[in-house]
Chains A and B, each alone.
Chain A
Amino acid sequence: MGDFTPNEMMTIAASRALTGEDVCFVGIGAPSAACNVARLTHAPDITLIYESGTIGTAPDVLPLSIGDGELCDTALTTVPVPEMFRYWLQGGRITIGFLGAAQLDKYGNINTTVVGDYEKPKVRLPGGGGAPEIATSSGEVYITMAQSKRGMVERIDFYTSFGHGEGGDHRKRLGIETKGPTLLITDLAIWKPDPETKEFTVVSLHPGVTREMVQETCGWKVKFAEKLEETPPPTALELSTLRDLKARTDAAHKGGGPAAKRGSKDG
């Protein structure tokens, strides 16, 4: 086993959750790297969809935005944005919605809108984009983000995208039939919702990670599964695939200088 960074472990652990049968709506940022590592390793038949309308895309380098030309060049087809949201997402054809988060709570509710009050925000974030409907119309939702007390909070400032609400059967009470968040992959651990309460529970620690490390970087009191597993470390193939992808991305975006670093950060 070679050395690897926590972010590399996060990306690879997230990629393992995807299968060749999945039709995955890829959120901007961290999810994009994981989805493409899956496609380049164990899930070559996965269908990756970006909200710009590209269906079945197979980018050689990671896109900087959801509308890069590379996504269209390598896609099976590219459809208009209204069709993407109406026929493909609302139509129930997406199995996995893969999202990142600025702020997340223990029930998988996501805030990407504001820090502070909506009318008088401390920080105005970009907003929901496609996420509010990805979160409710995809068959299930995977979330990936690096852990921090600022990001993983007891109470989010704004419910941009609904997860399990207050927990339990809250989705059902709102008439939402899809499963919602079923998996959270951080740089330290793999989390799954408790079957009853829907609170995210740590089920697997990445190699070298302790319970204390998970708690210190999380704003709520963390629950751990009774049988806690250890995430298998990255294989040589997974690691080389991710690093080659990043190197290609950096080379393609060079001239952008920091753009290259940005591409890496998402991995």
Chain B
Amino acid sequence: MARFMPLDAAVRENLKDGDTAAFEGFTHLIPTAAAHEAIRQGFRDLTLIRMTPDVVYDQMIGMGMAGKLIFSYAGNPGVGLLRRLRDAVENGWPRAVAIEEHSHAAMANAYEAGAAGLPCAVFRGYRGAELARVNPNIKSIICPFTGEELAAVPAVRPDVTFIHAQKADRKGNVLVEGIVGIQKEAVLAAERAVVTVEEVVEDFSDLHPNLCVLPHWTVTAVSVVPGGAHPSYTHGYYARDNAAYLEWDAVAADRERFREWMEENVMKAGPDDFAARVAGLRAA
């Protein structure tokens, strides 16, 4: 049963040190506000899961919150590499991070298996790929009907998933549209789910019947945070802040500059600051 609550309370009640947590979003709808709240509350030893860890995971890893990262593509989209992640992997700064690396197909299948309540995902993948050599969680299974060898990976079952979505209705049903990514699966695979939304509407009675809606009883908490996906975008609300992704490349290149930026823009800021950050990115 979804409960509406301020973001700081939603994060405090649903995230714990040592949790396996997914902050999902596929370029679109990245739950930045929720990630920043988690950074302010200073959680440790998290296992972070995400297909495409980008700027927010770079920030969480740079702040020393993650003990392990499970992922399939760790880059700054359209810009390049993640410099804080590189520093953690290559130099152990500020702490070493264990890595469990997959392909997108494997992660997508693993989330789906988690949502479906299965222990593992089976798919045709990793053929000839060296990740199978370095990741012990990539195994194979023989099809009992055809004899074909297929790849198998464990289901993803986060303790908690955070996503950002367009809107909720008064009951806490949640609508996701545009590039819907892996969010539905990530919510259904998790023990608990926290959703930030742009706005709350009275009801969903005027929606197209086949839209992606998460029923309120699949969601633990809903927090209203306009602009909460910035610098990512929310389809129908505001555009991607491409300049911020470029700026991040320079900020993350230097440890001191990174710490100063985090202090100024995350530690001393709050969920209410996001609306102003997207003001210039809304459609005229």
| Inter-subunit contact A124/B81 (CB<8 Å) | yes
| Inter-subunit contact B104/A80 (CB<8 Å) | no
| Inter-subunit contact B101/A162 (CB<8 Å) | no
Give chain B residues whose Cβ lies under 8 Å from the Cβ of A232. none
Partner of A89, one of B79, B105, B112: B105
Q: How far is the CB of B204 from chain A (nearest CB, A)?
A: 19
Q: Report the separation of the CA atoms of residues A136 and B123 in the bound assembly, to the nearest whole angstrom.
A: 13
- Chain A 113-143 against B: per-residue CB contact (8 Å), 1 yes, 0 no? 1000011111111111111110111000000
Give chain A residues whose Cβ lies under 8 Å from the Cβ of B101. 113, 127-128
Say if the beta carbon of A81 comes within 8 Å of chain B.
yes
Q: Report the separation of the CA atoms of residues A186 and B111 in the bound assembly, to the nearest whole angstrom.
A: 37
Q: How far is the CB of B174 from chain A (nearest CB, A)?
A: 15
Partner of A53, one of B77, B86, B181, B233: B181
Say if the beta carbon of A262 comes within 8 Å of chain B.
yes
| Inter-subunit contact B129/A52 (CB<8 Å) | no
Say if the beta carbon of A54 comes within 8 Å of chain B.
yes
| Inter-subunit contact B130/A158 (CB<8 Å) | yes
Say if the beta carbon of A204 comes within 8 Å of chain B.
no
| Inter-subunit contact B90/A72 (CB<8 Å) | no
Known A65-B27, A82-B182, A176-B128; judge A127-B105 contact (CB<8 A): no
| Inter-subunit contact B233/A69 (CB<8 Å) | yes
- Chain A 210-246 against B: per-residue CB contact (8 Å), 1 yes, 0 no? 0000000000000000000000000000000000000
Say if the beta carbon of A174 comes within 8 Å of chain B.
yes
- Chain A 18-39 against B: per-residue CB contact (8 Å), 1 yes, 0 no? 0000000000100000000000
Q: How far is the CB of B237 from chain A (nearest CB, A)?
A: 10
- Chain B 109-129 against A: per-residue CB contact (8 Å), 1 yes, 0 no? 101100000000001111111
| Inter-subunit contact B79/A162 (CB<8 Å) | no
| Inter-subunit contact B243/A255 (CB<8 Å) | yes
| Inter-subunit contact A80/B86 (CB<8 Å) | no
Say if the beta carbon of A90 comes within 8 Å of chain B.
yes
- Chain B 34-57 against A: per-residue CB contact (8 Å), 1 yes, 0 no? 000000000000000001100000
Give chain A residues whose Cβ lies under 8 Å from the Cβ of B242. 64, 253, 255-256, 259
Say if the beta carbon of B72 comes within 8 Å of chain A.
yes
Give chain A residues whose Cβ lies under 8 Å from the Cβ of B28. 52, 67, 69, 72
Say if the beta carbon of A167 comes within 8 Å of chain B.
no
Give chain B residues whose Cβ lies under 8 Å from the Cβ of A122. 90
Partner of B77, one of A64, A118, A120, A176: A64
Q: Report the separation of the CA atoms of residues A130 and B74 in the bound assembly, to the nearest whole angstrom.
A: 12
Known A64-B242, A81-B181; judge A160-B112 contact (CB<8 A): no
Say if the beta carbon of A60 comes within 8 Å of chain B.
no
Say if the beta carbon of B21 comes within 8 Å of chain A.
no
Q: Report the separation of the CA atoms of residues A131 and B125 in the bound assembly, to the nearest whole angstrom.
A: 11
| Inter-subunit contact B129/A128 (CB<8 Å) | yes
With CB as the reference atom, state the residue of chain B lying closest to A111. B130
Q: How far is the CB of B179 from chain A (nearest CB, A)?
A: 5
Partner of B104, one of A78, A130, A171: A130
Known A86-B108, A257-B246; judge A127-B73 contact (CB<8 A): yes
Give chain A residues whose Cβ lies under 8 Å from the Cβ of B182. 80-82
| Residue of A170, A171, A175 with most partner-chain B CB within 10 A | A175
Q: Report the separation of the CA atoms of residues A130 and B26 in the bound assembly, to the nearest whole angstrom.
A: 13
With CB as the reference atom, state the residue of chain A lying closest to B103. A132
Q: Report the separation of the CA atoms of residues A68 and B78 in the bound assembly, to the nearest whole angstrom.
A: 10
Give chain B residues whose Cβ lies under 8 Å from the Cβ of A80. 180-182, 184-185, 212
Give chain B residues whose Cβ lies under 8 Å from the Cβ of A118. 130, 134
Say if the beta carbon of B3 comes within 8 Å of chain A.
no
Say if the beta carbon of B213 comes within 8 Å of chain A.
no
- Chain B 75-104 against A: per-residue CB contact (8 Å), 1 yes, 0 no? 101110110011001100000000001011
Give chain B residues whose Cβ lies under 8 Å from the Cβ of A53. 26, 179-181
Say if the beta carbon of A159 comes within 8 Å of chain B.
yes
With CB as the reference atom, state the residue of chain A lying closest to B112. A82
Say if the beta carbon of B178 comes within 8 Å of chain A.
yes
Q: How far is the CB of A77 from chain B (nearest CB, A)?
A: 11
| Inter-subunit contact A67/B27 (CB<8 Å) | yes
Give chain A residues whose Cβ lies under 8 Å from the Cβ of B85. 124
Say if the beta carbon of A207 comes within 8 Å of chain B.
no
| Inter-subunit contact B179/A128 (CB<8 Å) | no
Q: How far is the CB of B240 from chain A (nearest CB, A)?
A: 7
Say if the beta carbon of B214 comes within 8 Å of chain A.
no
Query: Would you list the 6 A-B pairs with minimal beta carbon distance, nearest first?
Result: A67-B27, A162-B128, A126-B75, A65-B77, A64-B78, A129-B73
A-B contact pairs, 30 of them (CB 8 A): A28-B77, A51-B104, A52-B27, A53-B180, A53-B181, A65-B27, A67-B26, A67-B27, A67-B77, A68-B27, A69-B28, A71-B179, A72-B178, A72-B179, A78-B178, A80-B185, A82-B112, A85-B104, A86-B112, A86-B123, A121-B89, A125-B81, A126-B81, A126-B82, A135-B128, A175-B148, A175-B149, A176-B127, A257-B243, A259-B246
